[in-house]
Chain A
Amino acid sequence: MPLLELHGLSAAYGAVEALKGLSLHVGEGEIVALLGSNGAGKSTTLRTISGLMKPKSGRVLFDGKDIGGLHPESVVRLGVAHVPEGRRVFPGLTVKENIMLGASNRPGVSRRELEAGVEEMFELFPDIRRFSGALGWTLSGGQQQMVAVARGLMSKPRLLLLDEPSLGLAPLIVQQVFRIIARIRERGTTVLLVEQNARTALSVADRGYVLETGRLIIEGKPDALWNNEEVRAAYLGGRVTAGV
């Protein structure tokens, strides 16, 4: 049984239908890339999984249980962490406080466990350790991204939803973020990765889905998606010379 299954999922912002009967699945231990151009419905998919939006129809099965329409606070307690688009680091809290609050889904977690968790995150993201006491708004985009991911991991999720982690980052930082994503999976966390940067996403993913205007266009292995000239030209923004 897959860890996450979407069945005919539809969602709308008022009259704007952003998802139109999307079905996909993510197996335990996989990294799955969700690709597509701007406005395709990628963020809406993640928002509907994490409870920020209610599905109009269709089902969201997590570990076999229908979580569609639950509050975000309940969804994260079940083990789904959503690192949203734009990172959303709390600007007036320090890096350490931001990361600590990631454990807010775990009831009765002790101060010592929190400290240990933060320490573990600083080992995973050594670059942000020296900013421990810096306020969120003072960080660079790459640092904020690492804080946002570390904060997401503090909930000890089984499934991590990452929305455009490479957005606005320098190429070198992007490489670093994707190496971390690979390590997150090695630690046993399943990842659903939303990206416009298809090439980099496919380089770490086991499988990929391509969306357009709320519908699934194609799914497949990274090579198959990337080597399909039509798909690449139309949805992945790839040049013919680029390889995986």
Chain B
Amino acid sequence: MAIFLQLLFTGIGIGAVYSLVALGFVLIYRATNVVNFAQGEFAMLGAYAMVVLTQDLGLPYWAAIPISLAVMGLIGALFNLGVYYPLRHRSFLPVVISTIGASILLTNSVLVGYGPAPESLAGMFDFPGIQIGEVFLDSQYLLIIVVTILLVAFQYFFFEHTLLGKKMQATSQDKEMASLLGIPVARMIMLTFIYSAILGGLAGILVAPILFVSVGLGSQVALKAFAASIIGGFGDVTGAIVGGLSLGVIETFGAAYISVPYKDAFAFLVLFGFLLIRPQGIFGEKVAQKA
């Protein structure tokens, strides 16, 4: 039982990171109908921003985190202007290729600066964690879980209870109609990119002390997050969260009880299962075709 709870805790922690990146996928997909293949690179950049600020510049965590997030917001805005906006009237494929290009560019730029050797980042707290009975709650995992809960709550409040949130939803549902009502569509999409980049960056910042910080971090996390959003039902916010958490738990249990080397394979086995049996995902397409 103790082992079960211990694994569940770890699985939820790592799953929360997948959820954050998956949320970024979903928000951009809903706003622009395009899959952003550079979403994982946002996580990688967030992690490297922490390396730069805390190790190269020697800033404390409490200062480095908000600065990193601000930098991520700026990167999201530039990404929108450079990668999406010029192609916004084109079809799906050119924009997707543009995001893949951006992903390659970002990865290789970091490679030039930091090389292929991974960096490692210290944990954010001095105290290692809390022991409850036989279960040990690692402080970094606890932080990840708490931050994810707060973010999900914030996001729910924002989209369901603020006018700006409603305008962003309207934009993602019908851009032409939104503009006819006077909703500044370009600005709504800009905000979506900024927020998604911050979400991705935050995932990278949170996970950096657990994983090694390397240029491969982006694709490593993004593949899982992408699988998570398909499992949850692509385009569904709740689905992204549930999908991310399930994936984290499944791969943790799979690694513990079945095989450690095949840890990464479990995520994709589950993904294949869904694609075969329920391709629309757990929460897929609740909105029926328009009357």
CB distance from A62 to the nearest CB of B (A): 15
Asked if B291 and A84 make an inter-chain contact with CB atoms under 8 angstroms apart, the answer reads: no
Measured in the bound complex, the distance between the Cα atoms of B185 and A170 in whole Å is 34
A144 interface hit (Cβ, 8 Å): yes
B290 interface hit (Cβ, 8 Å): yes
Task: Tell me which of B173, B179, B288, B291 contacts A90 (CB under 8 A).
Answer: B173
Those of A18-45 within 8 Å (CB) of chain B: none
Those of A42-91 within 8 Å (CB) of chain B: 50, 52, 71-73, 76-77, 81-82, 84, 86, 88, 90-91
Measured in the bound complex, the distance between the Cα atoms of B237 and A35 in whole Å is 44
Asked if A52 and B173 make an inter-chain contact with CB atoms under 8 angstroms apart, the answer reads: no
Cβ contacts under 8 Å, B277 to chain A: none
Using known A-B contacts A88-B174, A137-B290, determine if residue A97 contacts B166 with beta carbons closer than 8 Å: yes
The count of residues in chain B whose C-beta lies closer than 8 Å to any C-beta of chain A is: 21
Using known A-B contacts A52-B180, A73-B182, determine if residue A137 contacts B291 with beta carbons closer than 8 Å: yes
Task: Tell me which of B170, B177, B184 contacts A84 (CB under 8 A).
Answer: B177
CB distance from A71 to the nearest CB of B (A): 7
Asked if A93 and B181 make an inter-chain contact with CB atoms under 8 angstroms apart, the answer reads: no
Q: From DSSP, what is the main secondary structure of chain B's interface residues?
A: helix
Measured in the bound complex, the distance between the Cα atoms of B183 and A223 in whole Å is 41
B169 interface hit (Cβ, 8 Å): yes
Measured in the bound complex, the distance between the Cα atoms of B175 and A88 in whole Å is 10
Asked if A73 and B287 make an inter-chain contact with CB atoms under 8 angstroms apart, the answer reads: no
Measured in the bound complex, the distance between the Cα atoms of B183 and A86 in whole Å is 19
Cβ contacts under 8 Å, B177 to chain A: 84, 88, 90
Cβ contacts under 8 Å, B179 to chain A: 52, 71-73
Those of A82-134 within 8 Å (CB) of chain B: 82, 84, 86, 88, 90-93, 97, 100-102, 104-106, 111, 114
Those of A144-187 within 8 Å (CB) of chain B: 144, 151, 155
Closest to A144 in B: B291
Identify 20 residue pairs between A and B in the complex whose beta-carbon atoms are under 8 Å apart, listed by A's number. Answer: A73-B179, A77-B182, A84-B177, A84-B180, A88-B174, A90-B169, A90-B173, A90-B174, A93-B173, A100-B163, A100-B166, A101-B167, A101-B170, A101-B178, A104-B178, A104-B182, A135-B287, A137-B287, A137-B288, A139-B291
Residues of A within 8 A of B (CB): 50, 52, 71-73, 76-77, 81-82, 84, 86, 88, 90-93, 97, 100-102, 104-106, 111, 114, 135, 137, 139-141, 144, 151, 155
Residues of B within 8 A of A (CB): 163, 166-167, 169-170, 173-174, 176-185, 287-288, 290-291
